[in-house]
Amino acid sequence: MIDQRIVEPKHLFFEAERKKRFITGSEAVKEAIKRANVDMAISYPITPQSESMHLVGDLFAEGYLKEYFRGENEFAVMSEITGAAMAGVRVFTATGGPGTLRAFEMFPTWVGARLPVVCAFLTRGVNSPLTIQPDTIEMSFMLDTGMLMLHAEDAQDLYDMLLKAFIIAEQPDVHIPVGVFADGFFVTHTRETIEVAPEDIKLPSYNPYSSPVPVMDMVNAPVRQMRDPFVMKSNFISYAAHASWQQEVLAAGERARKHIDHYLNGLVESENEEADILIVASGTAVSQSREAISIAREQGINIGLVKLKSIRPFPTEEIRALTKHAKAVIVPEFNRVGWLAREVKSAVNNSDKVIGGPRVFGGMTMPVELILDEIRRCL
Partner 1 sequence: MNNGLIKISPCFEDVMPQEYKDLVEQGSFGKNFGVSDLGSFKELIEEHPLCAGCGLALSMRLILASLPNPENTIIVGSTGCSALAFSQVALHNIHSLFGNQNAVATGLKRALKLRFPNEIKDVVVVAGDGATADIGLDMVMQSWFRRENITTIMLDNEAYANTGGQESGMTMEKAVLNMAPKGKNFPKVNLADVARVAGCAYVATCNPAKPRMLEKIVRRAVFTAREIGPTYVQIYAPCPTNYKLKPDEMLNTIKTREKDGTYPTSEYISSSAKELLERLEGGTNNEK
- Residue 22 or 239 with smaller CB distance to partner 1: 239
Site string for partner 1, 112-141 (x = CB under 8 A): -x----------------------------
Element (H, E) at 194: strand 191-196
Check: CB of residue 345 under 8 Å from CB of residue 354: yes
Among 96, 116, 184, 208, binds partner 1 (CB under 8 A): 208
Cα 110 from Cα 86, distance rounded (Å): 10
Q: Is residue 374 close enough to count as binding partner 1 by CB under 8 A? A: no
Span 149-168, contacts to partner 1 by CB under 8 A: none
Element (H, E) at 356: strand 354-359
- Residue 89 or 368 with smaller CB distance to partner 1: 89
Q: How far is the CB of 225 from partner 1 (least distance, A)?
A: 6
Q: Does residue 90 sit in helix, strand or coil? A: coil
- Residue 77 or 347 with smaller CB distance to partner 1: 77
Cα 220 from Cα 243, distance rounded (Å): 25
- Residue 5 or 224 with smaller CB distance to partner 1: 224
Site string for partner 1, 227-256 (x = CB under 8 A): xxx-xx------------------------
Among 47, 128, 225, 234, binds partner 1 (CB under 8 A): 225
Span 22-61, contacts to partner 1 by CB under 8 A: 39-40, 42
Q: Is residue 349 close enough to count as binding partner 1 by CB under 8 A? A: no
Rounded to a whole number of angstroms, the CA Rg of the chain reads 21
Q: Is residue 80 close enough to count as binding partner 1 by CB under 8 A? A: yes
β-strands 303-308, 268-271: how paired? antiparallel
Among 21, 48, 75, 141, binds partner 1 (CB under 8 A): 75
Q: How far is the CB of 90 from partner 1 (least distance, A)?
A: 10
Cα 170 from Cα 85, distance rounded (Å): 11
Q: Where are the beta strands (DSSP E) in the chain?
A: 5-6, 19-24, 40-43, 67-70, 91-95, 118-123, 148-151, 178-183, 191-196, 201-202, 268-271, 277-281, 303-308, 310-312, 328-333, 354-359
Q: Which stretch binds partner 1 (CB under 8 A): 67-75, 177-185, 285-293, 362-370?
A: 67-75
- Residue 38 or 139 with smaller CB distance to partner 1: 38
Strand order in the sheet with 328-333: 268-271, 303-308, 277-281, 328-333, 354-359
